[in-house]
Amino acid sequence: MDLRIPLSDLDYGPEEENAALDVIRSRWLTMGSVTQELERAFSDFVGVKHALAVSNGTQALHLACLALGIGPGDEVIVPSLTFVATANAVLYTNAEVRFADIIGSFDLNVSPDDIERQITPRTKAIVVVHYGGYPCRMSEIMKIARRHHLAVIEDAAHAPGAFLEGRALGTWGDVGCFSFFSNKNLATGEGGMLVTNREEIAEKARVLRSHGMTTLTWDRHRGHAYTYDVVALGYNYRIDEIRSALGLVQLQKLPENNARRKHLTDLYRKGLRDVRFSGIEVPFGDVEGDPAYHILPILLPEGVERQPFMDSMRKSGIQTSIHYPPIHHFSYYRQRYPGISLPITESIASREVTLPLYPMMTDADVDCVLTAAAGALAIARSSESSRSAA
């Protein structure tokens, strides 16, 4: 069936097409001057000393862990209500994760109290995720980190252009990691960025991004170097110039597009206050700072089944999604970490549905989603009552 309203959509036009064409015509495709320009523009935008472009957000997270010296014998505290990449990146280093619970239905971010409970003598770092681009409680988390001498990595995949107390998300901790995946606020297909104010972290990440080599093909092309040494076991986590060019255009559009996301989020919130939606909760009502409004999560009333709701939305041509199946419930993680219980994460995750949100959506599209959601909720409630009557 054709989708009338997808979950997310690109804001791509002639500017992106021309930017890609310019790179193709320049005849230099891999990491070079356009990537350097993107790194400069992104570091200026978020207000940080170093920005390193990579091929995806997962690589940024992996490099962040490696640059902080995380490895075998270490534990890293992560939320479970996030994309699996957040935890995977830690496991790539042969460290272990410890999952922390979230705050509650009004704030789906990791709980500072639970972070503190999960600290052991092996804990080396905390990874926070700004869920939906809504800021975690960074002041509290940074205090805990300082008290226990822990590093902080911010998974800011959802949060480009978000600020808290005037400071960009991604720049509160030791390292910030962004994703430029197709559905993100700044989209290049695949792509990502690591940001840090710490010189030695930037230097380690830079070397590891390109096989541990001391010079780049780009340096040699320009005659700045003729050979190289390999000083560490690195990776090929380089980005290419086409995607960097797309990123530069998308970065220019980001503030306006985030503002549009805010407008649409406000419309949704207003509409969802209607009696037709009684029992539905919309997290992040009391926002702190300036979020990036990446997604629009709602929580279905307790006891209402999610599948009939999502099926009915699909029949109306509207795509919905789930953010997220908790990581500790996945088979691999259940085998590796049996018996983990995160009561708030589990109860919230089972009720969560994500509604469409993207800058190109019209106000009328929001109305259309809400009308479909009211019908879908009525259907889901009736399947709930026929279940309880049986």
Just list the catalytic residues: 184
Q: Where are the alpha helices (DSSP H) in 27-171?
A: 33-46, 57-67, 85-91, 112-118, 138-147
We find the least distance from the C-beta atom of residue 73 to ligand PLP, in angstroms, to be: 24
* Nearest to 274, CA basis, from 382, 351, 371, 368: 371
Q: Which of 8, 43, 82, 196 binds ligand PLP (CB under 6 A)?
A: 82
Q: Which of 63, 70, 76, 85 binds ligand PLP (CB under 6 A)?
A: 85
Exposure string (b/e) for 255-271, b if CB count within 10 Å is 16 or more?
A: eebbebbeebbebbeeb
Q: Which of 179, 188, 244, 265 binds ligand PLP (CB under 6 A)?
A: 179
Q: Would you give the end-to-end CA distance of the chain in angstroms?
A: 32
CB neighbourhood size of 100 (10 A)? 25
Q: Which of 42, 45, 134, 181 binds ligand PLP (CB under 6 A)?
A: 181
We find the least distance from the C-beta atom of residue 85 to ligand PLP, in angstroms, to be: 4
Q: Which residue is nearest to ligand PLP (CB)?
A: 57
Write each residue from 116 to 135 as x if it is in contact with ligand PLP (CB under 6 A), else as -, in one continuous string.
Answer: -------------x------
Q: Which is nearer to ligand PLP, 192 or 234 (CB)?
A: 192
We find the least distance from the C-beta atom of residue 204 to ligand PLP, in angstroms, to be: 20
The residues in 26-65 that bind ligand PLP, with binding defined as CB under 6 A, are: 56-58
- Listed in sequence order, the residues at least 6 apart from 245 whose beta carbon sits closer than 8 Å to its beta carbon are 19, 20, 22, 23, 34, 38
Structure tokens at 355: 């509604």
CA distances from 163 to 11, 27, 258, 295 (A): 22, 37, 12, 16
Phi, psi of 146 (to 5 degrees): -65, -40
Window of 43-51, 115-123, 133-141, 155-163 that interacts with ligand PLP by CB under 6 A: 155-163
Q: Which is nearer to ligand PLP, 11 or 377 (CB)?
A: 11
Q: Identify whether the C-beta of residue 154 lies closer than 8 Å to the C-beta of residue 169.
A: yes
Q: Which is nearer to ligand PLP, 158 or 351 (CB)?
A: 158
Residue 155 binding ligand PLP, by CB under 6 A? yes
Q: Which of 34, 157, 355, 372 binds ligand PLP (CB under 6 A)?
A: 157
Q: Identify whether the C-beta of residue 349 lies closer than 8 Å to the C-beta of residue 341.
A: no
Residue 345 binding ligand PLP, by CB under 6 A? no
Window of 78-86, 204-212, 225-233, 312-320 that interacts with ligand PLP by CB under 6 A: 78-86
We find the least distance from the C-beta atom of residue 176 to ligand PLP, in angstroms, to be: 12
Kindly state the number of chain residues that form the binding site for ligand PLP, as judged by CB under 6 A.
14
Q: Which is nearer to ligand PLP, 48 or 63 (CB)?
A: 63
Residue 83 binding ligand PLP, by CB under 6 A? yes
Q: Per-residue DSSP letters for 133-186?
A: GPPP-HHHHHHHHHHTT-EEEEE-TT-TT-EETTEETTSSSSEEEEE-BTTSSS
- Listed in sequence order, the residues at least 6 apart from 154 whose beta carbon sits closer than 8 Å to its beta carbon are 127, 128, 129, 130, 136, 169, 170, 171, 172, 173, 175, 176, 177
We find the least distance from the C-beta atom of residue 156 to ligand PLP, in angstroms, to be: 9
**How far apart are alpha carbons 207 and 257 in whole angstroms?**
34
Give contact residues for ligand PLP (rule: CB under 6 A): 56-58, 82-83, 85-86, 129, 155, 157-158, 179, 181, 192
